[in-house]
């Protein structure tokens, strides 16, 4: 268990033992269902952990040239790539890095077909099953007018020559029952072409490491797919499930002001350091705090940028907050870290690891030069 008093503030700190637990669950699915699970870097890109991740998973999936470089250079295992569009100035380098590449349209496939085949990279096409139970539109890749994946109406069987895989993605933080429903729609629309493929990528959004996730059902679903389509390799690419509940964001109270209510100003920002809370949106959990009125002392927690709306939320505490008190935001490693910004130039949280032997290891402290060079 992390001793947060030993962690500098502000800092993202990952507990290695919790990451290992997640990886062991994912590895079990890999082995029992005979599938490949790769880490989606868009959700978890803490590359200092990649040597450990690579001991359990088959590789990583990238959404850009930079992520492909990160996967190749820091994990050194299989590199799968999908992006909504590839630019001509980057495709050659992506093809040098990738083992699999998925195209979002047949026009992109036709544009880069000869280069892809010459590079001996396994190509796939992303399809849209036109079904999803994702409730938040921002995260629904199968919503109306989605630009992601080829619909059944736009599918071009005559252009499949050279294509070795089909890729669909329709989940977001969901259980195995959601996958089962999506899979039925995927097969209804595109199943006739599966036997001529080498692989099918089931995308991400599988919340496999969540406590209430039905792992047994997932394994059964994957085994049944193998029975229907023998010899077809299955790939799953969760990101959030890798980093799920593996670490926190440690912050501090820097001032307390009053405007009808007590407002604690912290040395972190929701807009700069926890942007996923605004996008999803969701209210981050503060360890030891409750909802307003639940405990004796109520506070609004605010960030340290000049944005008026840089407000994290209202919480209650057992004791009055004091300048210097630690505020620890739970589960801030997946997605949160990959979306941070240098807005206002405020101090960017450091990155660290809490080792299994109870030691804090500083991985990175951000500098002025990094803020400057971004601009």
User: Is residue 170 within 8 Å of residue 142, measured between CB atoms?
Assistant: yes
Q: Say how far apart CA 51 and CA 229 lie, in whole Å.
A: 33
276 labelled binding-site residue: yes
Q: Say how far apart CA 250 and CA 347 lie, in whole Å.
A: 13
- The one-character DSSP state at 127 is B
- For 1, counting Cβ atoms within 10 Å of its Cβ (0-12 exposed, 13-18 middle, 19+ buried), the class is exposed
279 labelled binding-site residue: no
* Distances in whole angstroms, Cα of residue 266 to Cα of each of 141, 253, 257, 316, 324: 35, 5, 11, 15, 9
* Pairing of β 247-259 and β 233-236: unpaired
Q: Pull the structure tokens for residue 9.
A: 């503030």
Residue 189 neighbours by CB distance under 10 Å: 19
Q: Say how far apart CA 366 and CA 347 lie, in whole Å.
A: 8
Provide the greatest CA pair distance for the chain: 69
Residues belonging to the binding site are 240, 276
Residues belonging to the binding site for substrate are 240, 276
């Amino acid at each position: 268990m992390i001793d947060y008093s030993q962690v500098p503030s502000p800092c993202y700190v990952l507990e290695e033992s919790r990451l290992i637990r997640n990886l062991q669950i994912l590895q079990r699915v890999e082995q029992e269902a005979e599938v490949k699970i790769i880490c989606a870097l868009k959700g978890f890109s803490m590359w200092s952990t990649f040597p450990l991740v690579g001991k359990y998973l088959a590789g990583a999936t990238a959404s850009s040239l930079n992520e492909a470089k990160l996967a190749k250079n820091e994990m050194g295992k299989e590199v799968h790539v999908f992006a909504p569009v590839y630019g001509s100035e980057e495709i050659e380098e992506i093809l040098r890095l990738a083992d699999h590449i998925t195209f979002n349209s047949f026009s992109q496939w036709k544009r880069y077909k000869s280069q892809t085949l010459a590079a001996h990279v396994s190509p796939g096409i992303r399809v849209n099953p036109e079904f999803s139970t994702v409730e938040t539109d921002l995260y629904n890749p199968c919503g109306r007018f989605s630009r992601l994946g080829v619909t059944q109406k736009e599918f071009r069987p005559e252009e499949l020559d050279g294509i070795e895989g089909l890729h669909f993605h329709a989940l977001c933080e969901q259980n195995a029952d959601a996958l089962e429903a999506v899979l039925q729609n995927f097969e209804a629309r595109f199943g006739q072409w599966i036997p001529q493929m080498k692989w099918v990528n089931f995308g991400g959004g599988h919340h496999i490491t969540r406590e209430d996730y039905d792992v047994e059902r997932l394994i059964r679903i994957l085994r049944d797919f193998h029975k229907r389509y023998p010899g077809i390799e299955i790939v799953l690419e969760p990101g959030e499930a890798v980093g799920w509940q593996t670490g926190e964001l440690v912050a501090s109270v820097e001032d307390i002001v009053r405007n009808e209510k007590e407002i604690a100003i912290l040395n972190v920002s929701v807009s700069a350091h926890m942007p996923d809370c605004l996008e999803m949106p969701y209210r981050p959990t503060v360890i030891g705090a409750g909802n307003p009125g639940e405990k004796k002392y109520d506070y609004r927690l605010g960030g340290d940028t000049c944005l008026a709306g840089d407000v994290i939320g209202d919480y209650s505490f057992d004791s009055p907050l004091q300048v210097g008190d630690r505020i620890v935001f739970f589960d801030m490693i997946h997605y949160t870290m990959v979306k941070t910004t240098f807005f206002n130039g405020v101090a960017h949280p450091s990155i660290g690891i809490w080792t299994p032997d109870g030691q804090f290891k500083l991985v990175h402290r951000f500098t002025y030069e990094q803020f400057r060079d971004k601009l």
